[in-house]
Amino acid sequence: MKGVSPLIATVILIAIIFSAAALIGPYMLNLSTRSANQTLSDAEREIRCRNAAYDFSTDFGIGNSGVEWNFADPTDYLRASIRNAGAVELHDFALEILLDTATGPDIMQLDVTAATQRTGENVLKPGQSAILEADITSDITGTLKKVSITNWLKCKTVSREF
């Protein structure tokens, strides 16, 4: 019985290694690229989050709370005045309210009206203030207990309790 010559065995082994590398290589390159991009994105977001700061304006609203609302009339409204006290531009705000109702606490997510929303093209720059109005599409009943505002970074939320 004769075995495979060492030269042919080496050529076959090298061919198997290159075939495996050709199959696994693109997958590993794609995986490492995605991982590097995600790490960069997370790092950028963390830097922006550290430089983001905003709060309710104290010269607006009921009792200078920065919030005014009326849920008793047929046309309910909620407005909040915020000031960008950070070093990054903010946009895409959302409101969350906590109500005390006859059936217990109720949390509602409210969008900001298109007319008062700050977008990526119309940002709230550092030092600027803006009044955000909730887009209320149904009758709200209950006593307002808390208003929270988030922005596109989703790392900072400001709240005001009543």
Strands (E), the chain: 54-56, 67-70, 77-84, 94-101, 104-111, 129-133, 143-150, 157-161
Kindly report the pTM of this predicted structure.
Answer: 0.72
85 pLDDT above the threshold of 90? yes
The C-alpha atoms of residue 1 and residue 33 are separated, in whole angstroms, by 50
Q: What is the mean pLDDT of residues 124-153?
A: 93
Amino acid code (one letter) for 32: S
Confidence category of residue 107, pLDDT binned at 50, 70, 90: very high
> Residue 49 — φ and ψ, nearest 5°?
-65, -40
146 pLDDT above the threshold of 90? yes
Handedness of CA 156, 108, 62, 133 (dihedral sign): positive
- Domain locations along the chain: 1-51, 54-161
Confidence category of residue 1, pLDDT binned at 50, 70, 90: low
Confidence category of residue 40, pLDDT binned at 50, 70, 90: low
Confidence category of residue 113, pLDDT binned at 50, 70, 90: very high
Q: How many CA atoms lie within 13 A of 81 on its CB side?
A: 15
Closest CA to 93 of 32, 156, 160: 156
Query: Considering the domain 54-161 in this protein, what is its CATH number?
Result: 2.60.40
The C-alpha atoms of residue 131 and residue 88 are separated, in whole angstroms, by 18
